[in-house]
Amino acid sequence: MLTKLKNRIRLFFGFSASETNGLILLVPLLLLIISAPSILKHVLASNSAQSDLEDERILQAWLEESKSKLKSDEGATFTPTFFNPNKASSEKLVELGFKKKIADRIINYRSKGGSFKEKEDLLKIYGINQKLVTAYYDYIIIPKPEAKPKSTSPKFKQVIEKMVIEKENVKFDLNLADTSQFQIVRGIGPVLSVRIVKYREMLGGFTHTAQLREVYGIEEEVYQRMLSHFDVLIPSAKKININQDSISFLAKHPYLNYKTSRAIIKYRAQHGDYQSVADLKNIHSISDSLFQRIAPYLKVE
């Protein structure tokens, strides 16, 4: 039969014997190349289906193993179910395998204002089956709280205080005012108001309004506006005892550096305790201007 086919090809195309033999070999090879993608696709699809079945079998085996393990441990039954521990009822928790007293304990915890922010928070419930909680990790759903939009409207307290100030020209005590009161002045925002309070704490209290100029960020026009609303009504400076306090303690004050603080302590060691704050004038490194600034914050005892 093959010989007849070769003869017909030779007669039809006029091929020689060798050309005819080559054609006979080439045609099956071309057919194989053309059909190869379809065959390969079919083989891969078959392997993928087998792989999916294998993955499903492994997952099912893991679930069965978890059920078996939990049943043998405290008699709990693991049921793959999604739930929110902040919303689930006592009955639902019991269905999930938790003991009735544990379910009631969770409900009681929530009724008193408690909430579960993370999955691990469930482990904090006294007496809870920790292995059961761990088995449910992939099924515990705790939605993240929605961020509340920040209000851009001024605080009621600030609005009232501003109305009173503008009407009656009321002044606040620089040593008692809080950050919200400082923000009443145009040009002072949250950052600058906090900076004023922090500097006041470092000083030990303001002794006069001119010290506001020392706060970084307060421009002259802002300072002038502050004078209409703030003053040192009750002078109260936190005192440093130059007969007892250390170099490091003295150096924390904005008006004193480490070198000057060391000179104060050295003079005390050489001449004994200070009899008055004015004795600091005997120290060469303390100028008259520095003495005038720092004296209200010093004492001798």
Mean pLDDT taken over the chain: 80
Q: What are the pLDDT digits (tens) for 49-82?
A: 566 667 667 666 666 655 554 454 455 667 778 8
Report which residue type is found at 103: A
**Quick check: 224 pLDDT over 90?**
yes
Handedness of CA 172, 176, 178, 182 (dihedral sign): positive
Tell which CATH classification among 1.10.8, 1.10.357, 1.10.150, 2.60.120 matches the domain 156-231. Answer: 1.10.150
Q: Which CATH number fits domain 240-299: 3.50.40.10, 1.25.40.10, 2.60.40.150, 1.10.150.280?
A: 1.10.150.280
Per-residue model confidence (pLDDT) at position 213: 93
Q: How far is CA 39 from CA 33, 44, 47, 207, 274, in A?
A: 10, 9, 13, 93, 103
CB neighbours of 200 closer than 8 A, spacing ≥ 6? 174, 175, 206
Lowest mean pLDDT among 135-149, 222-236, 238-252: 135-149
pLDDT at 295: 92
The CATH number of the domain covering residues in 42-143: 1.10.150
In the predicted structure, residue 269 carries a pLDDT above the cut 80: yes
Structure tokens at 214: 């020392």
Of 144-158, 213-227, 271-285, the poorest mean pLDDT is in: 144-158
Res 39: pLDDT: 72
What's the predicted TM-score (pTM) here?
0.46
Supply φ then ψ for residue 209, to 5 degrees: -65, -25
Tokens of 95: 């269905």
Which residue would you say has higher pLDDT here, 12 or 218?
218
Residue 73: per-residue pLDDT:
47
Q: What average pLDDT does this structure show over 132-160? A: 69
Query: Does the pLDDT value for residue 260 go beyond 90?
Result: yes
Residue 137's pLDDT is what? 82
Of the ranges 113-117, 133-137, 252-256, which one carries the lowest mean pLDDT score?
133-137
Q: Where in the chain is the domain with CATH 1.10.150.280?
A: 240-299
When pLDDT is cut at 50, 70 and 90, the band that residue 113 belongs to is: confident
| 73-77, 78-82, 116-120, 218-222: least confidently modelled range | 73-77
Q: What is the token pair recorded at 190?
A: 């949250």
Give 6-47 pLDDT, tens digit per residue.
666 666 666 676 776 776 677 677 777 777 677 777 666 665
